[in-house]
Structure 1
């Protein structure tokens, strides 16, 4: 075929129905619905999205609200000393940081000379002061700025002491910070609805929605569900326009979206995985259209180092330098998947917002049983999905490295952090644990898949395993068990070998040793084996945290486990 013929060649266009027929055949008897998964937001995720998928009627609310491409790098300083804060701030600005970030939940004892220097910097760089109490002396920065310089100060100050900010017309002081709700278990729908409800709450106290718009900001934590987090920020732009239309017919201007990488999925174990999580979250925030972004270091839970802080800052610098996203206002638009997610989030969040208003508004709702029960339900659903392995936290509930970190206890407390239950078991069993053996029958190729699975399963709780040699008889297994003085054994073999050896093996095993078997078997066999003394089964989808609790209870006793 000549090159000109190749250029003119076309492929016949396939329909969605034709693709679905091929997909169903590849499932070999399983229903097509096996390819559909559901998020905690109650949104179905389909294997294929097309131009016919649900999407927004217009992208104008997103593009008009963003105004300009790019975002501000907001590197937080991790220190409890005023002079160290100033020094690290200056160094970070020299190396790419673009703003002054201070978290008042960890207050610093400020000195007058540092306050004066911060005031000079505040005129040059945007400020983002979060959770600042009335008595925090960092507010004295504003008394050091006068005249026309007040107009040069931009950013956000989250405090009740707003009288000190008179004349600082470019500093926003009214906002919806939903990060606490996020860490308590909130999903994207809940976060968006809370942000709207908080805005509506403030709108009732301000003379016009336009005035609120000039003072308002919203702050989100960005988790590791890449596409959902992109859609979350895009959905907020649409929802904000809808809210402004509901309150006012006036044109409203852009309000800033502030975001930070979520620590809900961070772990103290194998902390370098947190760097991957941070990069994933940061990129989704940027594609979603964030205006200000803070990336937390991978070891922020334990003790951030100059190296980890530099790596966190460089995540943003690399994205700016390498991806060209600073050239596009809405880089994720046009993706059928993201457009569909955005629309569903808009619809579900608006529905929840209306329900919140009907219940009495923001203040009433966050103090209600309905809110606490919703967060508890969402957290429980998340932790169950991690414990059963339907959602992965690499290094925590899968691919656990028992020697990954010397320092495993978090110094920074993050409510409902998902890895924490596993970390508690890891620290507990690191001090003392039962002796666990795997009875491996047959050749290596026969038992290795199940033995690897069991070792990996138990490693997520900090439990080490010892494999037997290639066993062929029950007597060999009994001799090995007696010689190792084990507390707990798990039988690893093919289904056929397991069924042949199980009854005679159970009859000879010491009754004080807890015995499980790898895999799932039919109810009749399971009942027979349990009657003969088998404790249970270990298989994919088993609740890990429940299993670790059971192991601890059998080994230590119920009284000791309650104390633990």
Structure 2
């Protein structure tokens, strides 16, 4: 074909209907709905998104973001005021751009230390959270000369504290979603409650402009990457709608602070938390956060100098290597994210109106709703529907630090279920073997699944030789004397060996089989002594706890 003809060649544009037809054909009889994923927010994630972009929404979000880039606001974690100041100064030299303080752990400040901190307040933005009015660090604001207070910018989330005169750019009416997020809230609930709390704060202000100039919001960012991007973008749209209720056509830009969630963190294989923190940080960037804090990967058990450096470097690497700070609203225009943003806006606004109609955020009962969401997250992790690498899948059989660090609020995390199981296994566990039959290719998939399953509970397992007869297997079991056995073979071979194996099984051994059995076979084998099964989709926590009892001389439930 000549090049001139090639230039004239065109291809028919495939539409959504054609794609869906091909997708259904490829499923070979399975329902198309299998390609959808339902989120805790009640949103169905579709397998394909076609062009459906609301140009007005995209434009509004970009106006509300206002500027490119973000402030790297890495928290300084110290044991005393002097160490805090020393580490803060070092962090500035290494890329940190803000003073970040969490008042969960307070310490005493001398006059000299307060004076030194007050000097830093003029040069760097300040972000303080979980502060009460008795925290001595707040005295630093009294030390700043009145003529210099106009230069101090930032956010102070302090209960019942009023900034001294002259701090016109220090925001003190904040809505912090950290507690709600870690109590189990989904994106819709966080957005709706943020608006409800803003409504409560604005009710006590003389005017919306004066309130909004003092207002800020902070969101915790979880690992549901696209949902978290959409959450931040949705808040911009919701804020404009909120402002219009006060007859403000052009809503003032509100700074959004973001902090990586520790709800997704695990004490097991904590270095995976580095990946989670990186994922969450990048989502915050793409979502348009103005200030971002990345928690150290070992924040649950106590951060070290190196982990604090790693967490700071996550933001530095993203900024320096991707140049994402040169782009305004980089997620805008993505069909998927735009539609997800719009769905969050509608659902969150509806819930916000419901909260207001029921007496406001103080009277609206949320405990049951949050408990339901937290329970669903736990169930997804326990059954393997959702993966937490290093915790409920690909677990490492290594000693892990499980003590809590007192420098951060205690929160409920889905990973705690597995941490508690691992802690018990460290003290007592049954002697466990995986009994294999046939050729390697016959049993390896199930063997790998079973050993991985057991490892999530900290249970070590010994792999037998690949036996071809039940008699050989029985002889080996009589020698090894295990407490617990899991049989691994393909379906056909399992049906051949299980009957004779159960008939000849030495007393005192509890035996399971790998794979999901039909009800008739399960009942027949249980009558011969089978304890149960290990299979994909079962409740790992319940099963692991049952196996652990064997190490104490109990019976598997």
Normalised to the residue count of structure 1, the TM-score between the two structures is 0.95
Following TM superposition, by how much is the alpha carbon of 1:22 offset from its aligned partner in structure 2, in angstroms?
Answer: 1.1
CA distance in 2 between partners of 1:445 and 1:410 (Å): 43
For structure 1, the 5+ residue unaligned runs are none
* 2:508 maps to 1:512: yes
Aligned twin of 2:461: 465
1:380 to 366, 370, 375: 375
- The C-alpha deviation readout for 1:2-47, integer Å capped at 9, x for no partner, is 5554444332211111111111111111111110110111100111
Distance verdict in 2 for CA 1:406–1:8, change over 3 Å: same
CA distance in 1 between partners of 2:95 and 2:315 (Å): 9
Aligned twin of 2:93: 94
> Does the 8 Å CA contact 1:288/1:332 hold for their aligned counterparts?
yes
CA distance in 2 between partners of 1:322 and 1:451 (Å): 42
CA distance in 2 between partners of 1:253 and 1:87 (Å): 37
Aligned twin of 1:13: 13
Aligned twin of 2:181: 182
CA distance in 1 between partners of 2:413 and 2:464 (Å): 37
> Does the 8 Å CA contact 2:418/2:457 hold for their aligned counterparts?
yes
Following TM superposition, by how much is the alpha carbon of 1:165 offset from its aligned partner in structure 2, in angstroms?
Answer: 2.9
Aligned twin of 1:440: 436
> Does the 8 Å CA contact 2:483/2:550 hold for their aligned counterparts?
no
- The C-alpha deviation readout for 1:221-271, integer Å capped at 9, x for no partner, is 001111000000000000011111113335331011001111111111211
Aligned twin of 1:121: 120
> Does the 8 Å CA contact 1:230/1:285 hold for their aligned counterparts?
yes
CA distance in 2 between partners of 1:196 and 1:545 (Å): 37
CA distance in 2 between partners of 1:173 and 1:321 (Å): 32
After TM superposition, list the pairs within 5 Å mapping 1:390-401 onto structure 2.
Answer: 390-401=385-396
- The C-alpha deviation readout for 1:82-138, integer Å capped at 9, x for no partner, is 111001100100111110000011112222211111100000100001111111110
> Does the 8 Å CA contact 1:77/1:89 hold for their aligned counterparts?
yes
CA distance in 1 between partners of 2:92 and 2:25 (Å): 57
Q: Which one is further off, 425-434 or 38-47? A: 425-434
Q: Which one is further off, 113-122 or 418-427? A: 418-427
Normalised to the residue count of structure 2, the TM-score between the two structures is 0.96
For structure 2, the 5+ residue unaligned runs are none
Aligned twin of 1:498: 494
After TM superposition, list the pairs within 5 Å mapping 1:385-424 onto structure 2.
Answer: 385-403=380-398, 405-412=399-406, 414-424=410-420
After TM superposition, list the pairs within 5 Å mapping 1:205-220 onto structure 2.
Answer: 205-220=204-219
- Over 6 Å off, 4+ runs: 557-561
Following TM superposition, by how much is the alpha carbon of 1:189 offset from its aligned partner in structure 2, in angstroms?
Answer: 0.6
Q: Which one is further off, 136-145 or 313-322? A: 313-322
Q: Which one is further off, 316-325 or 74-83? A: 316-325
CA distance in 2 between partners of 1:7 and 1:91 (Å): 60
> Does the 8 Å CA contact 1:434/1:488 hold for their aligned counterparts?
yes
Following TM superposition, by how much is the alpha carbon of 1:344 offset from its aligned partner in structure 2, in angstroms?
Answer: 0.6
**RMSD value over aligned CA atoms?**
1.8
> Does the 8 Å CA contact 2:266/2:416 hold for their aligned counterparts?
yes
After TM superposition, list the pairs within 5 Å mapping 1:304-315 onto structure 2.
Answer: 304-315=303-314
Distance verdict in 2 for CA 1:244–1:498, change over 3 Å: same
* 2:474 maps to 1:475: no
Distance verdict in 2 for CA 1:119–1:558, change over 3 Å: farther
SS in 2 for 1:86: helix
* 2:227 maps to 1:233: no
CA distance in 2 between partners of 1:270 and 1:549 (Å): 20
Aligned twin of 2:26: 26
> Does the 8 Å CA contact 1:56/1:340 hold for their aligned counterparts?
no
* 2:340 maps to 1:346: no
> Does the 8 Å CA contact 1:56/1:343 hold for their aligned counterparts?
no
Aligned twin of 1:428: 424
- The C-alpha deviation readout for 1:394-440, integer Å capped at 9, x for no partner, is 1111111112x542333255411121111121122122211111110
Q: Which one is further off, 56-65 or 171-180? A: 56-65
CA distance in 1 between partners of 2:213 and 2:163 (Å): 18
Q: Which one is further off, 386-395 or 9-18? A: 9-18
Aligned twin of 1:173: 172
- The C-alpha deviation readout for 1:164-200, integer Å capped at 9, x for no partner, is 4332110001111011111111110111011001001
CA distance in 2 between partners of 1:529 and 1:247 (Å): 70
After TM superposition, list the pairs within 5 Å mapping 1:546-557 onto structure 2.
Answer: 546-556=542-552
> Does the 8 Å CA contact 1:511/1:533 hold for their aligned counterparts?
no
After TM superposition, list the pairs within 5 Å mapping 1:141-290 onto structure 2.
Answer: 141-249=140-248, 251-290=250-289
> Does the 8 Å CA contact 2:132/2:161 hold for their aligned counterparts?
no
Aligned twin of 1:301: 300
